């Protein structure tokens, strides 16, 4: 008798990712994959989904979960899981698994890509030469050597950032709720309080998770304490920064620039029409407007949340997601997220 396979859905996948998932999960699940979101799936098909494999831009709350009454596992293809309503998932008996580590080196390298772009004005130089202008007026940068880098969140990614910074001859200070004094001694950095980090750092880079306690940790109050002319880098989560306060800090010269791979409200930048169907539309429109202001600034470099986007990191994401699905269906779940 032929085995009945549970139905699984992977959203926001491209052809290459879809082919890899389909091959690995063949005979394990009946896989449906789409390049879009849950909104693009027929309601009848959604009602039969047991395993969902979304990406970070797929918001999954009460409304979405209620459309999937058979859902048992959300295996997000990401480390972050703030796009999933964990309380709603728990209420419906749905397990949530993530990919704990996959892109430490990738994100750390993207962090320094943004640092170097701003410190040497690479984006401005590139645009100028594309127009046939080879003048150097206004393109003077600064050395990283001897500057102080403040790392907010010295976990796996933050430690890779610190290793790179030391290679540039930078002084490094870090803030983290969990401190490893041995690693600090080996890598040559020191832990400081967050307010001190803001005060003394020439460049501040964020590597904290998206939690209620970290929501808008960079706000008007904290920005006002930062070293005048500092750079701010965010390759973590958009919710860490109050966008309106960031615009203010750039306008007043508190910050000399910002490199942002994650933006508050970034899920609406590509699909602005989705704002019409969400609560607090007015607040989200204000965030969107401030993001547009940031995009027009010469001293702000924005990339579309691509810090994870390397061949090696993507393969690790898919492999761990596949392992999470297999382990769950075999009765010994792995990488479960706890509320």
pLDDT in tens, 49-102: 999 999 988 989 999 999 999 999 999 998 888 899 999 999 999 999 999 877
Work out the end-to-end distance of the chain between its first and last CA atoms, rounded to an integer number of angstroms: 40
Pick the catalytic residue from 77, 83, 305, 316: 305
**What is the rounded CA–CA span in Å between residue 81 and residue 337?**
8
- pLDDT band at residue 140, thresholds of 50, 70 and 90? very high
Check if 123 is active-site: no
Q: Which top CATH class is 104-302?
A: alpha beta
Q: Which CATH number fits domain 6-102+311-329: 3.40.50.720, 3.30.300.20, 3.40.50.300, 3.40.50.2000?
A: 3.40.50.720
Q: pLDDT at position 273, please?
A: 54
> What DSSP state is assigned to residue 117?
H
Q: pLDDT at position 243, please?
A: 94
- Confidence check: pLDDT of 211 > 80: yes
Name residue, tokens 């390759």: 235
Q: pLDDT at position 101, please?
A: 78
- Residue 27's SS3 state is coil
> What DSSP state is assigned to residue 89?
H
- Residue 178's SS3 state is coil
Q: pLDDT at position 160, please?
A: 96
How many residues are there in the chain?
339
Check if 305 is active-site: yes
Pick the catalytic residue from 160, 237, 290, 316: 237
Note whether 156 and 101 are within 8 A (CB).
Answer: yes
- pLDDT band at residue 1, thresholds of 50, 70 and 90? very low
Closest CA relative to residue 202, chosen from 141, 144, 275, 138 = 144
Every domain range in the chain assigned CATH 3.40.50.720: 6-102+311-329, 104-302
Q: pLDDT at position 266, please?
A: 79
Both tokens of 177, joined, read: 């709720």
- Which carries the bigger pLDDT value, residue 280 or residue 249? 249
- Confidence check: pLDDT of 279 > 50: yes
């Amino acid at each position: 008798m032929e085995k009945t396979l549970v139905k699984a859905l992977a959203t926001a996948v491209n052809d290459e990712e879809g082919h890899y998932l389909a091959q690995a999960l063949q005979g394990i699940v009946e896989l449906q994959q789409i390049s879009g979101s849950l909104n693009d799936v027929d309601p009848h098909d959604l009602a039969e989904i047991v395993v969902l494999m979304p990406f970070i831009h797929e918001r999954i709350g009460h409304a979405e979960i209620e459309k999937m009454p058979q859902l048992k596992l959300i295996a997000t293809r990401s480390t972050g899981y703030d796009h999933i309503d964990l309380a709603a998932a728990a209420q419906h008996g749905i397990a949530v698994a993530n990919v704990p580590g996959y892109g430490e080196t990738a994100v750390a390298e993207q962090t320094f890509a943004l640092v170097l772009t701003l410190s040497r004005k690479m984006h401005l130089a590139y645009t100028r030469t594309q127009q046939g202008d080879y003048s150097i007026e206004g393109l003077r940068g600064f050395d990283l050597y001897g500057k102080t880098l403040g790392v907010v969140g010295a976990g796996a990614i933050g430690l890779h950032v610190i290793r790179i910074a030391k290679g540039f001859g930078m002084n490094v200070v870090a803030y983290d709720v969990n401190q490893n004094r041995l690693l600090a001694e080996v890598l040559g950095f020191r832990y400081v309080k967050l307010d001190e980090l803001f005060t003394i750092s020439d460049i501040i880079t964020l590597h904290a998770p998206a939690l209620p306690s970290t929501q808008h940790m960079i706000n008007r109050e904290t920005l006002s304490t930062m070293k005048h002319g500092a750079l701010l880098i965010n390759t973590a989560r958009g919710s860490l920064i109050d966008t309106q306060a960031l615009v203010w800090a750039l306008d007043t010269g508190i910050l000399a620039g910002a490199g942002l791979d994650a933006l508050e409200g970034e899920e609406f930048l590509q699909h602005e029409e989705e704002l019409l169907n969400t609560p607090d539309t007015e607040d989200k429109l204000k965030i969107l407007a401030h993001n547009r202001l940031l995009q027009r600034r010469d001293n702000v470099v924005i990339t579309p949340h691509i810090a994870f986007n390397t061949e090696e990191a993507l393969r690790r994401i898919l492999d761990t997601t596949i392992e999470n699905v297999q382990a769950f269906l075999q009765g010994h779940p792995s990488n479960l997220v706890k509320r």
